């Protein structure tokens, strides 16, 4: 087992945030009617993807009846429908949909993580919960040696990536890194940070995020990966 795999095992067994532990387990027990036949995961979602990936996606947290049900980030919910369709379109996934952990989805040159690994009530995290989960993200980013492009999905995902980069010492000056859809920041000679609206229903149903807007993020990520240099040390 690799160090990255060992880290995911620690994440799965994490119980650092009492509010989140209580909520994720309550949802997994009470379920929702349309998924009443499912055996909910009800634990922290591990990150997943290609450990040699050059593209890293940082999201918010699992959805109560999405990742908290299926056990995999962006799997089984509307946000995932948008994300995996885009990843497949630009060659980062072998299929455009994901409904369960065993549906055959494979990521190519892409790794998916999140600010927090547990589903929060009303999709809102407390600052203390973000801080408790941050060490996992920092350790992951340190282990992903080929990382060339980071996409922060939503303001929270973007800010988490910025904080982790600062804590890793990759870039000390982070105050000028402001979130806006399509924003692009060179972090080092071979590492770029991109910002995207999160593909939540709040954004996609209202038209704040359209499919062409979302596609543009991954088109740009692919373009950057074609021009980046050798792996960073």
pLDDT exceeds 50 at position 231: no
Tell me, yes or no, whether 179 lies in a domain.
Answer: yes
- The number of residues in the chain equals 233
pLDDT average, residue stretch 4-26: 98
pTM reported for the whole predicted model: 0.94
pLDDT exceeds 90 at position 229: no
**Domains held by the chain: number:** 1
Tell me, yes or no, whether 192 lies in a domain.
Answer: yes
Give the C-alpha separation, 138 to 165, whole Å: 8
pLDDT average, residue stretch 226-232: 59
- Which of 23, 22, 26, 18 lies closest to 129 in space, CA to CA? 18
Tell me, yes or no, whether 233 lies in a domain.
Answer: no
Per-residue confidence (pLDDT) for residue 232, from 0 to 100: 38
CA 200 to chain CA centroid, Å, is: 13
Q: Which domain CATH number covers 78?
A: 3.40.470.10
Structural domain containing residue 38: 3-227
Angle of helix 127-143 relative to helix 3-12, nearest 10 degrees, comes to 160
Tell me, yes or no, whether 19 lies in a domain.
Answer: yes
Q: Are 68 and 93 in contact (CB under 8 A)?
A: no
pLDDT exceeds 60 at position 187: yes
Give the C-alpha separation, 201 to 213, whole Å: 15
110-162 pLDDT per residue, tens: 999 999 999 999 999 999 999 999 999 999 999 999 999 999 999 999 999 99
How would residue 227 be classed by pLDDT, with cut points 50, 70 and 90? confident
Tell me, yes or no, whether 78 lies in a domain.
Answer: yes
Radius of gyration of the chain (CA): 17
Tell me, yes or no, whether 232 lies in a domain.
Answer: no
Per-residue confidence (pLDDT) for residue 176, from 0 to 100: 84
**Which residues touch 37 (CB under 8 Å, ≥6 apart)?**
none
Per-residue confidence (pLDDT) for residue 228, from 0 to 100: 65
38-92 pLDDT per residue, tens: 999 999 999 999 999 999 999 999 999 999 999 999 999 999 999 999 999 999 9
pLDDT exceeds 60 at position 216: yes
Give how far Cα 183 sits from Cα of 30, 176, 194, 197, Å.
40, 12, 6, 10
Give the C-alpha separation, 67 to 74, whole Å: 6
């Amino acid at each position: 087992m690799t160090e990255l795999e060992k880290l995911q095992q620690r994440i799965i067994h994490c119980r650092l945030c009492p509010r989140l532990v209580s909520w994720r387990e309550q949802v997994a027990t009470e379920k929702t009617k349309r998924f009443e036949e499912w055996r909910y995961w009800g634990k922290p979602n591990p990150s997943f993807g290609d450990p040699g990936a050059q593209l890293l996606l940082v999201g918010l947290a699992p959805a109560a009846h999405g990742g908290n049900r299926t056990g995999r980030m962006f799997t089984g919910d509307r946000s995932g429908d948008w994300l995996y369709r885009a990843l497949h379109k630009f060659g980062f996934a072998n299929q455009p949909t994901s409904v369960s952990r065993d549906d055959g989805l494979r990521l190519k040159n892409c790794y998916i993580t999140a600010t927090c690994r547990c589903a929060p009530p009303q999709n809102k995290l407390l600052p203390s919960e973000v801080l408790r989960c941050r060490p996992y993200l920092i350790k992951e980013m340190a282990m992903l040696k080929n990382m060339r492009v980071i996409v922060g999905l939503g303001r929270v995902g973007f800010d988490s990536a910025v904080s982790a980069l600062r804590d890793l010492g990759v870039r000390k000056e982070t105050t000028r890194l402001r979130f806006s859809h399509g924003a692009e920041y060179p972090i080092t000679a071979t590492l770029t940070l991109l910002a995207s609206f999160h593909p939540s229903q709040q954004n996609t149903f209202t038209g704040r995020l359209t499919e062409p807007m979302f596609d543009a993020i991954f088109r740009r990520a692919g373009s950057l990966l074609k021009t980046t240099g050798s792996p960073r040390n």
